[in-house]
Amino acid sequence: MTTNPSIYKTPDGEKVVMAIYEKALANWPVPYERLNFSARHGETFVIACGPISAPPLILLHGAGTNSAIWGADIADYSRYFRVYAVDLLGEAGKSAPNRPAWDSPAYAEWLEDVFTALRIEKAVLVGISQGGWTALKFAVSRPERVEKLVLMCPGGIIPDRVSFIFRAIGLSLLGEWGTKQLVRMLYGGEPIPEGVEEIIVQMTRNFNPRMGVLPIFSDEELRRLTMPTLLIGGTKDALRDIPKIAARLETFLPQLEVMIIPGAGHVLMNTMSRILAFLEVEEKVV
């Protein structure tokens, strides 16, 4: 296991990021609990909401962010599920700064410990980008514990676009202007919500993102994904070729549904109705 306690550029920078997070939690649209517990690869923070007796659903955010990204969707999820938004290890949240090796069993082991701590036998997993990769890592290791799988522009299916990586590196050297250009790339043809650019500027200014490439899942691993799975992505995803991801998954997943959104980028919005339909709760909407 790799431990990196210096995931922020300065102690003050960590305070800035945590202040942004706390502001988001202060505006959380539903009642919630904060949970902290130990796991094999680091202390883990979870936002729990929704009826305790409802079926469990786990949300996994992407790189360089935290569970605050689910704020716009959490009210819908928590109407039907006991929702657990989990901060990934080593990212800009409240879980441990540990960054376990991606090419090890660590992330599957960590998420198994999350299931144990939350007393979950089987759950729906929803992951976006690196969170999608993390959901896949667990699902190929413990398929019997995944009820359904929702993958939003996931990593690990095909290699990421090299062109995006080089552009992102170049823009990262151009300060605030470069960060805003990168945000526009990530949103594709979608409008950027008010305030998002400034938040990402602050996160970029103060957080050290994890470098490296997510490992690609083997054919044998993907064949283990027999549970119902929904893939969602956009036609203007600058980082990942969603049609090619869909084509590879269709080869191995017997219960795959695909939603490719015209004009959408790597950041996905307005997907809730499709996800709820996949989760078969649409008839309960009032």
pLDDT per residue as tens digits for the range 187-219: 887 888 878 888 888 988 899 989 888 999 999
Query: Which residue of the set 266, 267, 268, 271 is catalytic?
Result: 266
Please tell me which residue, 45 or 162, carries the higher pLDDT value.
45
Note whether residue 158 is domain-resident.
yes
Note whether residue 6 is domain-resident.
no
What would the pLDDT profile of 223-276 be if each residue is shown by its tens digit? 999 999 999 999 999 899 999 999 999 999 999 999 999 999 898 888 999 999
Mean pLDDT value across residues 152-167: 88
Cα-trace Rg, the chain? 18
Note whether residue 260 is domain-resident.
yes
Q: How many CB atoms lie within 10 A of CB 119?
A: 7
Note whether residue 2 is domain-resident.
no
Q: How many CB atoms lie within 10 A of CB 178?
A: 18
Quote the pTM value. Answer: 0.92
Cβ atoms of 61 and 109 closer than 8 Å: no
Note whether residue 4 is domain-resident.
no
- Annotated catalytic residue 61: no
Check residue 284 and give its pLDDT: 43
Average of per-residue pLDDT values in the chain: 91
DSSP-assigned letters across all residues of 40-90: TTS-EEEEEES-TTSPEEEEE--TT--GGGGTTTHHHHHHHSEEEEEPPTT
Tell me: pLDDT of 127 over 80. Answer: yes
Q: What is the pLDDT confidence band of residue 5, given thresholds at 50, 70 and 90?
A: low
What would the pLDDT profile of 7-43 be if each residue is shown by its tens digit? 999 999 999 999 999 999 999 999 999 999 999 999 9
The CATH number that applies at residue 223 is 3.40.50.1820
Note whether residue 168 is domain-resident.
yes
User: What is the number of domains present in the chain?
Assistant: 1
Note whether residue 142 is domain-resident.
yes
Note whether residue 223 is domain-resident.
yes
* Parent domain of 196: 11-284
